[in-house]
């Protein structure tokens, strides 16, 4: 099931159901001028990869599975938490962060970026596809 990005049109949807059914590593659900919603599925034992968004705040909402969350201002001194369905993880701009899927089933979540982080209509079927798409291009 691939989700179509319907932004910036108005949207009313069962987001938790869509997140539970999504099998893509990352798929944009809605992209507007100031906000973006993505659905994510992270395979057991996999992670999103340690990253930092300098100009974006992010909200991660867990709908299935358990995640180990690492976050901090410095990659050498990350704090650690655990998040389960119903939990949200708030990542302020500039904060290093990573989520690791801990259960035998994929971790399912939706993420809100403000402002948008990915191109409208982005679908990354796997983490490898996401890394390849976001790799710097030689000039």
pLDDT in tens, 39-71: 999 999 999 999 999 999 999 999 999 999 999
Spatial CA neighbour of 72 closest among 89, 85, 84: 89
Question: Is the whole-model pTM more than 0.85?
Answer: yes
Could you give the percent of the chain with pLDDT greater than 70?
96
Domain 15-134: give its CATH code.
2.60.120.10
Three-state secondary structure of the chain: CCCCCCCCCCCCCCHHHHHHHCCCCEEEEEECCCCEEEEEEECCCCECCCEECCCCEEEEEEEECCEEEEEECCCCCCEEEEECCCCEEEECCCCEEEEEECCCCCEEEEEEEECCCCCCCCEECCHHHHHHHHCCCCC
Give the per-residue pLDDT at 68: 98
Spatial CA neighbour of 51 closest among 35, 67, 64, 69: 69
Q: What is the rounded average pLDDT of the residues 88-112? A: 98
pLDDT of residue 103 exceeding 80: yes
- Domain residue spans of the chain: 15-134
pLDDT of residue 134 exceeding 80: no
- From CA 139, how far away is CA 137, in angstroms rounded? 6
**What is the overall mean pLDDT for the chain?**
94
Q: What is the rounded average pLDDT of the residues 16-29? A: 96
Could you give the percent of the chain with pLDDT greater than 90?
82
């Amino acid at each position: 099931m691939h989700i179509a990005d319907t932004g910036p049109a108005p949207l009313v949807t069962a987001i938790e159901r869509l997140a539970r059914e999504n099998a893509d590593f990352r798929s944009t659900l809605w992209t507007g001028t100031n906000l973006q919603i993505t659905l994510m599925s992270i395979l057991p034992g996999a992670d999103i990869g340690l990253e930092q968004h300098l100009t974006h705040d992010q909200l991660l909402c867990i709908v299935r599975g358990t995640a180990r969350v690492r976050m901090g201002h410095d990659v050498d001194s990350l704090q650690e938490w655990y998040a389960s369905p119903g939990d949200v993880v708030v990542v302020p701009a500039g904060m290093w962060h990573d989520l690791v899927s801990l259960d035998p089933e994929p971790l399912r979540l939706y993420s809100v970026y403000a402002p948008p982080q990915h191109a409208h209509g982005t679908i990354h079927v796997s983490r490898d596809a996401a890394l390849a798409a976001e790799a710097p291009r030689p000039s």
